[in-house]
Amino acid sequence: MAHLHLAWELGSHPGSEAGAPGHAMRLKALAATLLARGHHVSLSLRDLGCTHAVLADLRVPRWQAPVWLHRAGGMPPNQASLAEILLPQGYLDVAGLAGLVHGWRAMLTAVRADLVLADAAPTALLAARSLGIPALAIGTGLACPPPDVPLPCLRDWEDVAPQRLARAEAHLLNVANAVLEQHGAPPAPCAAALLRGDAALLATWPELDHYGRAGPPASWLGPLYQPVAGGAPLEWPAGTGPRVFASLKHEHPAAGAVLRALVEQGCRVLCWLPDGPAGREPPLHDPAIAYTAHPVALDEALQGAVLCVCHGGATMAQALLAGVPVLALPTGLEQFLLARRIEGWGGGVNGARVHGDWAPVLQALLGDGRWRAAAQAFARRHAGSTPELRAGRIADLVEQQLA
C-alpha cells in the first residue's frame, strides 16, 4: 500500500486558528481512516509538544516540520491576504525559502512519501511539487483559496489598496517559482496553485467557509475531526438554569466578562479550560461554573445545552451540528472570518463586534428563538453526515489521486 505523509506547518501567525489541537485532530481523523485501509502514514508537525496528548494513541512516526523561526521587519501589521501572511513565514527571499524546501525535500525523501496531504503546510506542497510527488491541500477553507484568481482580500472592511495585495502576491509567486527552478520543476501559474497543490480538499461546508464560496455539493467534504471517546465525566453545576457549554482559553480578554454575564443570566456553565493545569487561576470563580481541563465528549456535553461559547474550529462545527447556536470569541483573523460568516446566516454571534456589554447579546441568544432555529436548520441540512463518513470520503479522494 502507499505511504502517505500528513503535514502541518503554519499555525502561530495572525491569520491562523489558535491552538495546535485543531490541526492535530484533523490529521488524526484522516490518519486513522487511512491506516484502517492498510496505508502507511507518517506525520510532520509544527508543534510536537502541544499535539502529543491528542496523537499519543496514534501509532505512526511523527517528525518536527521544517518551520521558519525568524521575525521579518517592515511587514504591514494588518496582514490582508494569504500572500501577506506567508511572506514573513519564509517567503520573503529565495535563500530562506530554499532552506525550508531543502528540509521538506529531505523529509519526504526519507519517509518515501507516495503522496503528501498538507494542512496549512504550503512549503510541504512546494517541496512535493519540486520532487514530482502528488500533493493535496486539506483544510477548513482559508488555507485553500479559490483557484485561478488573485488571492482574496481577507480584510474587506478595511481600506486595503489592491496594488499592495498584488505586489505581495507577485513577490510570493516569484520567490516560490525561483526555488522550483532550482530543482528543475515547472513553475506555478499563480499563487493559488501553490497553495492548493494538485487538488484542494475542502473539509468544511459552505455555511462555514471563510470566503463565502458556493459550488457543487460534491466539492464540500465537511468538517474533519475525531470525536473524543468517553472524555471526562460531565458534572454540571447544580440547579435548574439553562446549560451553556464553553470552550475557552485564558488569553482571550473577554473570557471572564462573558462567564460573569452568563452567571448573571442564570445559566449553569460547563467550561473546558484546557490550559488550566498550568497553575493559572480560572477567569472567574462561581458555583454556577464547573471547569474541566480534560477533553470533553462534545456530543454528550451539547445535549440539552442552549448555547455554546467557543473560539471557533471543530467545537463550533460540532455545536451547530447539534443544533446549538454559538457565541464566538475569535482569537485571530481566521476565527473572526468564520464567526462573521456564521453570524451572517444566523447561527450565532460574532463576539468580536461586542464591546463591553455582554448582557444584551446573551439575552438575545438565550431568549430569541431565531438563533436556535438557524442552528437546528443547519443540523437538519447535514443530518446523517458522521465524522466517519466524512473521513471516508476524503480517503476515497486520496486513493483516487494515488490511482
DSSP per-residue string spanning 173-239: HHHHHHHHHHTTPPPPSSHHHHHHBTEEEE-S-GGG-TT-----GGGB------PPSS-SPP-PPSS
201 forms beta bridges with 138
The Cα-based distances of 202 to 123, 134, 138, 207, 215 in angstroms read 19, 17, 6, 12, 11
Q: Which DSSP helix (H) or strand (E) runs through 272?
A: strand 268-272
pLDDT band at 17 (very low <50, low <70, confident <90, very high): very low
Identical fold between 3-222+386-402 and 243-381: yes
What digits encode the pLDDT tens for the residues 361-380?
999 999 999 999 999 999 99
Residue 341 contacts residue 347 (beta carbons within 8 Å) = no
Residue 272 contacts residue 247 (beta carbons within 8 Å) = yes
Residue 292 contacts residue 237 (beta carbons within 8 Å) = no
Domain 3-222+386-402, CATH 3.20.20.370 — does that match? no
CA diameter of the chain = 68
pLDDT band at 254 (very low <50, low <70, confident <90, very high): very high
Label the pairing between strands 40-45 and 135-139. unpaired
How is residue 127 written as a grid cell? 517541496
DSSP state of 13: S
User: What are the residue boundaries of the structural domains of the chain, listed by start?
Assistant: 3-222+386-402, 243-381
Q: What would the CATH number be for the domain defined by 243-381?
A: 3.40.50.2000
What digits encode the pLDDT tens for the residues 169-210?
999 999 999 999 999 999 999 999 999 999 999 999 999 999
How is residue 26 written as a grid cell? 484533523
The Cα-based distances of 138 to 172, 191, 222, 315 in angstroms read 21, 16, 11, 18
For the chain, helix (H) and strand (E) counts, in that order, are 14, 12
Closest among 67, 121, 97 to 174, alpha carbons compared: 97
Between 88-92, 228-232, 306-310, the lowest mean confidence (pLDDT) is in 228-232
